[in-house]
Amino acid sequence: MKDPQKFQEELPLREGANTIYVEPDFIAYVRVSNVRADDWGINALITVLPTPGMRDEGEPSYEIGAAWNIFSNYDDRWHASFVDWSIYFGAEEVKAGLDMAALAADRARASSFGR
């Protein structure tokens, strides 16, 4: 769904939200801030929140954006096709991402004991 009006209405709920950010080969727990929209599309700053079991290399904060013609917003998710990123806002999705990260961190710790 491409709904710029709904996007504008939901901005106060998204500003400062802790979310799951996904790109191909990258998943991170992030905080979304400085969200803005104009005639071109949307932009936001994401700040990676170090989380055991999730990838957190690279820049701790960076800008993301998408033109309206490749951006979709849903009740619990933003998605940009072609640049292929998604942000999951839903409580269940964020919890599932953090639970998976915790499991990965536990497995990594367990496997390091055998070295």
**For residue 4, is pLDDT > 80?**
no
Q: What is the pLDDT of residue 112?
A: 60
Q: What is the pLDDT of residue 81?
A: 93
Q: What is the pLDDT of residue 2?
A: 64
Give domain status of residue 9, yes or no.
yes
**66 touches 84 (CB < 8 A):** no
Give domain status of residue 104, yes or no.
yes
pLDDT digits (tens, 9 = 90+) for 45-84: 999 998 888 876 667 899 999 999 999 988 899 999 998 9
Give domain status of residue 40, yes or no.
yes
Pick the range with the lowest mean pLDDT from 11-25, 34-48, 55-69, 76-90.
Answer: 55-69
3-state SS string for 12-24: HHHCCCEEEEEEC
Pick the range with the lowest mean pLDDT from 16-25, 32-41, 52-61.
Answer: 52-61
Query: How far is residue 67's CA from residue 41's CA, in Å, rounded to a whole number?
Result: 4
**Higher-confidence position of 109 and 99:** 99
Domains contained in the chain, number = 1
Query: How far is residue 21's CA from residue 32's CA, in Å, rounded to a whole number?
Result: 9
Give domain status of residue 102, yes or no.
yes
In this prediction the pTM is 0.84
Give domain status of residue 77, yes or no.
yes
Q: Structural domain of residue 11, as residue ranges? A: 4-110
Give domain status of residue 115, yes or no.
no
The encoded tokens of residue 104 equal 């990965």
> Using the 8-state DSSP alphabet, how is residue 39 labeled?
S
**pLDDT-based confidence at residue 113 (cuts at 50, 70, 90):** low
